[in-house]
């Protein structure tokens, strides 16, 4: 029986999680939200130690120390461009931990406790799926394996057979809660997780991370029921709901269904990526040419993308914007929902460079302004301004809402090469007579551009 004071403490922790989740919805309050959520987690751990007085205290403390060191070192060393991989890894660890806890608790589940047995089976199966799937997403984003969809003959049949096998083992576990049946169920879940993520292309992997995050939340909630821990039930439900909503929002931002994202490659319609560089002629210019276009503009919109993050060019971009503003040029940043590799990626990157929040405008808010914009500066982005999303039904990004950069008077692209974006298709806007390309690393190009602008 949990003491009353511990239940009150858990309630405080749950409130911290709810407040943190709300605070994370805005860049202004996200840092505070993280601290509040972390404080709630620390409080919950301390209460658990004090209320339960666990056996085997030494190995538990050793595991906590190792985990804490790993988390701190990993979080501090990771680059902003690698944040989605870190999220995937942490998420997978959470799902795996929930599955292991459910396995260990099987000895305590009696055959007549049907609901607890169902919750255990669900936690083991879905937690294993989340763990193995998250590991595959990590290896894809870290480029330890190809980012292209991986399929093989018989994959759909094997995948469906594994799901049916998992359901059968789950029913068996509910009727006869034995550890070895739980281990088999866990192994099947691991296989399902791998087969779920392998066919997903690189551009779609962040959406799968969000989906697996929802899976982990649901397993934690089910594990909370098995353990009789209300806090785990609340926290898991919050994560599951938030992950589900985020998955839906990201899929909508890509203009595709979650089913198409997961299984499109099997039907030949997924985002493939890794396209071949085009040899079609384009209009290119040097820093001085682009500086003239920017320096004499009245209104400029910046479209940042993943290339900005890779080059770590956000600080130079801020300096360029400040130089333009000192000349009386109105400048805004247009943020696409899936710019970078996850929602909020660009917001965090630019906030790191001390870019004012009021300059960061979301797609729906700024899309009507492109018609009255003199110059759009696209830095490391491609698919989010590709008109094929509106005009080419056969394109893998068709139907994806995009930023209306093609409606501006002039467009400037900062690109390393003519290789396509993740979608693996050409962007016709690059060949538009109103478009000028400045080739090179984004940070190097922006540094030269800033120097040239100061002489205009």
pLDDT by residue, tens only, the chain of 456 residues: 678 899 899 999 999 999 999 998 777 788 899 999 999 999 999 998 888 888 888 898 999 999 889 888 888 887 766 778 888 898 999 999 999 999 988 888 766 678 889 999 999 999 999 999 999 999 988 878 887 788 888 888 999 999 999 999 999 999 888 899 999 999 999 999 999 998 887 667 888 888 999 999 999 999 888 888 888 999 999 999 999 988 888 887 766 678 777 876 666 544 444 456 666 788 999 999 999 999 999 999 999 988 888 888 899 999 999 999 999 999 999 998 877 767 777 887 888 888 888 889 999 999 999 999 999 999 988 888 999 888 888 777 788 889 999 999 999 999 888 877 666 678 889 999 999 999 999 999 999 999 999 987
Name the residue among 408, 354, 411 with its Cα closest to residue 382.
411
- State the SS3 of the chain: CCCHHHHHHHHHHHHHHHHHHHHCCCHHHHHHHHHHHHHHHHHHHHHHHHHHCCCCHHHHHHHHHHHHHHHHHHHHHCCHHHHHHHHHHHHHHHHHHHHHHHHHCHHHCCCCCHHHHHHHHHHHHHHHHHHHHHHHHHHHHCCCCCCCCCCCCCHHHHHHHHHHHHHHHHHHHHHCCCHHHHHHHHHHHHHHHHHHHCCCCHHHHHHHHHHHHHHHHHHHHHHHHHHCCHHHHHHHHHHHHHHHHHHHHHHHHHCCCHHHHHHHHHHCCCCCCCCCCCCCCCCECCHHHHHHHHHCCCEEEEEECHHHHHHCCHHHHHHHHHHHHHCCCEEEEEECCCCCCCCCHHHHHHHHCCCCHHHEEEHHHHHHHHHHCCEEEEECCCHHHCCHHHHCCCCCCCCCCCCCHHHCCEEEEEECCCCCCCCCCCCHHHHCCCEEEEECCHHHHHHHHHHHHCCC
Tell me the C-alpha to C-alpha distance, in Å, between residue 252 and each of 1, 174, 257, 266.
Answer: 45, 37, 7, 21
Beta-strand relationship, 375-379 and 360-362:
unpaired
| N-term to C-term CA, the chain | 75
What's the token pair of residue 355?
């870019």
d(CA 344, CA 338): 8
d(CA 38, CA 418): 44
By the 10 Å C-beta count (0-12 exposed, 13-18 middle, 19+ buried), 170 is classed as buried
Q: Contact at 8 Å (CB) between 265 and 208? A: no
Known catalytic membership, residue 383: yes
Q: What's the pLDDT at 275? A: 56
Q: Which residue has the tokens 């751990």?
A: 45
Exposed e or buried b per residue across 400-409, where buried means at least 16 C-beta atoms within 10 angstroms of its C-beta: bbbbbbbbbe
What's the token pair of residue 262?
């997961």
For the stretch 390-443, pLDDT in tens is: 888 877 778 888 999 999 999 999 988 887 766 667 888 999 999 999 999 999
Domains of the chain: 78-267 (no CATH), 287-453 (3.40.50.1220)
d(CA 206, CA 216): 15
What value, to the nearest 5°, has the Cα angle with vertex 81 and ends 369 and 356?
Answer: 40
d(CA 168, CA 425): 43
Catalytic pick among 112, 383, 406, 441: 383
Query: What are the beta bridge partners of residue 411?
Result: 376, 435
């Amino acid at each position: 029986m949990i003491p009353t004071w511990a239940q009150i403490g858990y309630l405080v922790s749950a409130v911290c999680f709810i407040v943190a989740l709300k605070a994370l919805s805005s860049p202004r309050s996200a840092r505070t939200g993280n601290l509040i959520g972390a404080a709630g987690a620390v409080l919950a751990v301390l209460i658990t130690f004090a209320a339960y007085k666990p056996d085997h205290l030494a190995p538990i403390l050793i595991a906590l120390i190792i985990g804490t060191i790993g988390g701190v070192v990993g979080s501090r060393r990771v680059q902003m461009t690698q944040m989605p991989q870190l999220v995937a890894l942490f998420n997978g660890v959470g799902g795996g931990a929930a599955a292991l806890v459910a396995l260990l608790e099987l000895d305590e589940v009696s055959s007549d406790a049907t609901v607890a047995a169902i919750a255990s089976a669900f936690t083991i199966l879905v937690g294993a799926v989340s763990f193995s799937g998250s590991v595959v997403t990590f290896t894809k984003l870290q480029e330890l394996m190809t980012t292209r969809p991986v399929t093989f003959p018989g994959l759909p049949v094997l995948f469906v057979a594994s799901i049916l096998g998992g359901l059968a083992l789950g029913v068996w576990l509910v009727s006869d809660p034995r550890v070895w049946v739980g281990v088999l169920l866990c192994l099947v879940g691991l296989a399902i997780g791998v087969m779920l993520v392998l066919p997903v292309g690189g551009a779609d992997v962040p959406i799968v991370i969000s989906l697996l995050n929802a899976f982990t939340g649901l397993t934690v909630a089910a594990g909370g029921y098995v353990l009789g821990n209300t806090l785990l039930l609340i926290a898991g439900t919050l994560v599951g709901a938030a992950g589900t909503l985020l998955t839906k929002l990201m899929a909508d931002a890509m203009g595709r269904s979650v089913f198409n994202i997961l299984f499109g490659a099997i039907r030949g319609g997924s985002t493939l990526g890794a396209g071949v560089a085009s040899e079609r002629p384009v209009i290119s210019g040097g820093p001085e040419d682009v500086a003239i276009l920017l320096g004499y503009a009245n209104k400029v919109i910046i479209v940042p993308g993943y290339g900005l993050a890779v080059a770590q060019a956000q600080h130079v971009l801020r300096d360029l914007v400040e130089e333009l503003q000192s000349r009386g040029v109105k400048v805004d940043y247009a943020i696409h929902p899936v710019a970078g590799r996850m929602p909020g990626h660009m917001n965090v990157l630019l906030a790191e460079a001390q870019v004012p929040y009021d300059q960061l405008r979301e797609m729906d808010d700024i899309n009507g302004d492109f018609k009255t914009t003199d110059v759009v500066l696209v830095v490391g982005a491609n698919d989010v301004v590709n008109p094929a999303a509106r005009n080419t039904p056969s394109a893998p990004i068709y139907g994806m809402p995009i930023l209306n950069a093609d409606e501006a008077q002039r467009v400037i692209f900062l690109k390393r090469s003519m290789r396509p974006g993740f979608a693996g298709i050409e962007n016709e806007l690059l060949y538009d007579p109103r478009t000028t390309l400045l080739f090179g690393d984004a940070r190097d190009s922006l540094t030269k551009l800033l120097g040239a602008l100061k002489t205009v």
